Amino acid sequence: MFEIINKKAIWERVRSVLKTYRLKFICIFLLIVLSSVFSFILPQLTKRIMDDGFIARNFDAILVLSFSLFCVLVMRQAVEYMKESFRIDFKKKLIYNLYKIAFLHICKSEIKSLDKNRAEIINKLQMDINSISTLIDNTTLFTIGQIFNVIGGVIGLFMIHTKLALVVLFMIPVKYILIVYLSKKRESLTSEYINANTSFFKWFENTLAGIQEIKLFDLHNYKIEEFSPLMNKNVNVDKKIMLLSVYNSILDNFIIEILTIIIYLVSAVHLLKDELTVGSIFAFITYLIYVSAPISTIINFRYMLAGVIPSLYRYVDFLNKEEEPMGGEKIQRMDGYPIIEFKNVGFQYTDNKVVLDKLSFKVYLGEKVAIIGKNGTGKSTLIQLLLRFYLPACGAIEMYGKNINIYDLEELRGGFSVVSQNVYLFEGSIKSNIILNKEFVPALFTEVLQQANLFDLVEEYTVDYNVGYGGANLSGGQKQKIAIARALYSDHEIYIFDEITSNADIQTRSIYKKTIIKYLRDKTVLIITHDDDLLPFVDKIIKL
């Protein structure tokens, strides 16, 4: 299911994330030890209350020992509260960091790995991070604490009666064998569930993307037929995992109940022989609980971990996906060199389909260049290559005489103001989508509204109008105007306009022409277009 992953590297990455919380770990560990000490004391106090108080009919002893018992219980609960406070804070910060690490990786990832299945990526991350965070659930800390309870419990058992203690210890290998078997079964089922879940959400995303076609061609029943086997597989595997947990719980309780019956019978024999007191039996039963329940928890931790490991592997596998190279030289303007030069550039998306073949051209500072051609000839691909979202299969792209691959990627892209053919707007106001992370300059903002012919839209809705997710509350033409205003507001050295007149009316087209000719007269502009009316206003035409 996953690429071959170095398990040592996985746990190194886990440690690198967790080392930030070293102090919290130490505090939680000390609180666990302190809680275990209190737990060890409680049965001893119970034994003395029974033997020195009730059996001896000594009310003063009962009073003093009961008060001591109350104090220990209060202190133990206070420690438990402090431990849980640390744990909850730790878990929430861990979830925050796992999402942050994933988001930073996404920001640095190659765009070709993100163009498809975005909903699937989000679903996988949510599922995996929720699963990984269960490592910091109360169960995990409880398991660690139970190790100390087992140690104290075993000591207490042997202090009371050696033979009975050996009977209790006999159950450990029996339970271990059962848990190992169930853990392997669960790990296998969890991997199967992850695969089934991934397939379902991939299908679901693809179906939602084509919802209009489903309605137009009446594909509802057809899609339901596809839905049923995918969802049934998901549900059936999840059902098997749940039933496995039920089997585990039933077997665990059955072993403890059988052991308790044996202890009652053997204890009764020793009580009749005056080898045990009533208080000792009560204390022994308490220590038995301290040992049997924790042993179940500790051994079951492997069972719980079996459900986390596949998610941990997949999360790390996601982080291991190739990132864009960072760092590089600063861009320096060189007189006499073209600002952009393509030298015999070739590119293909698949092995069979060549998009660009030995493309060569030069663009000098301040030139206005139109890129024309039929659909599928690589006009938009050319821009993707220039922005280093993709790499050429052959040839070189240069800026000021140097290959763009040697330049710092953020600085390279920071030199372009781009209006894509498929405009994307973030959910938020018109204003926030124009200025983005830039400082608000009122005069510049007003100017770009004019150049993008946005005044009518702003007067109708105001600049604080929420455009909706992806600009859903606006038309295609309105979104394009905001994208043009955004590009102009960023004020970079090179402008790229991809089909900016495709959704524009006659008046808006006229304004865009003036913007390119006058407002951007000192800028370098690349225009991908099918609009022949723009061609007389450019310095150069590149036909693909």
Residue-wise pLDDT for 153-197, tens only, equals 677 777 777 777 777 777 777 777 877 788 778 878 888 888 888
Q: Is the pLDDT of residue 426 over 50?
A: yes
When comparing pLDDT for 276 and 418, which is higher?
418
In whole numbers, what is the pLDDT of the chain averaged over residues?
83
- The DSSP element (H or E) to which 240 belongs, if any, is helix 220-272
Report whether 133 contacts 95 (CB < 8 A).
Answer: yes
Phi, psi of 455 (to 5 degrees): -60, -40
CA gap 312, 309 in Å, rounded: 5
Q: State the angle between helix axes of 171-209 and 278-319 in degrees (0 to 180), rounded to the nearest 10.
A: 30
Quickly state the pLDDT bin for 303 (edges 50, 70, 90). Answer: low
For the chain, give the percent of residues with pLDDT over 90. Answer: 22
Please report, for residues 203, 225, 521, the alpha-carbon distance to residue 210 in angstroms, rounded to integers and kept in the order given. Answer: 11, 16, 43
Indicate the domain borders of the chain.
7-319, 340-543
Encoded tokens for 9? 């590297």
| 141, two tokens | 């800390």
- 3 three-state secondary structure: coil
Token pair 């431990």 is at which residue?
83
Please write the tens of the pLDDT for every residue from 253-263. 787 788 778 77
φ, ψ of residue 264 to 5 degrees: the values are: -60, -45
CB-CB contact of 492 with 452 (8 Å): no
Four-residue CA torsion sign, 177, 179, 180, 185? positive
What residues have CB less than 8 Å from 201, skipping those under 6 apart?
119, 120, 123
Write the DSSP string, 16-48: HHHGGGHHHHHHHHHHHHHHHHHHHHHHHHHHH
Taking alpha carbons only, the member of 282, 193, 287 closest to residue 232 is 193
Helix (H, G, I), strand (E, B), or coil: what is residue 161? Answer: coil
pLDDT in the model for residue 78: 92
- Say what the pTM is: 0.69
Pick the more confident residue, 427 or 303. 427
pLDDT per residue as tens digits for the range 307-358: 788 888 888 888 888 888 888 889 888 888 999 999 999 998 766 677 888 8
**The pLDDT value given to residue 540:** 92
> Which amino acid would we find at residue 164?
L
Task: Select from 1.20.1560.10, 3.40.50.2000, 2.60.40.1080, 3.90.78.10 the CATH code of 7-319.
Answer: 1.20.1560.10
Least confident residue range of 158-167, 370-379, 470-479: 158-167
Q: Which of 74-78, 272-276, 286-290, 305-309 has the lowest mean pLDDT?
A: 286-290
| Confidence bin at 3 (pLDDT 50/70/90) | very low
- Across 132-136, 278-282, 402-406, the highest mean pLDDT is recorded for 402-406
pLDDT over 60 (residue 2): no
| Pairwise pLDDT comparison (16 vs 360), residue with the higher score | 360
Kindly tell me if the per-residue pLDDT of 216 is higher than 90: no
Phi/psi class of residue 507: alpha, beta or left (left: φ > 0; alpha: ψ in -120 to 50)?
Answer: alpha
User: In the prediction, which pLDDT does 115 show?
Assistant: 64
Asked if 428 and 463 touch (Cβ cutoff 8 Å), the reply is no
pLDDT at 292: 67
Three-state SS at 520 = coil
| Residues whose CB falls within 8 Å of the CB of residue 500, separated by 6 or more in sequence, listed in order | 419, 480, 484, 512, 527, 529
For domain 340-543, give the CATH superfamily.
P-loop containing nucleotide triphosphate hydrolases (3.40.50.300)
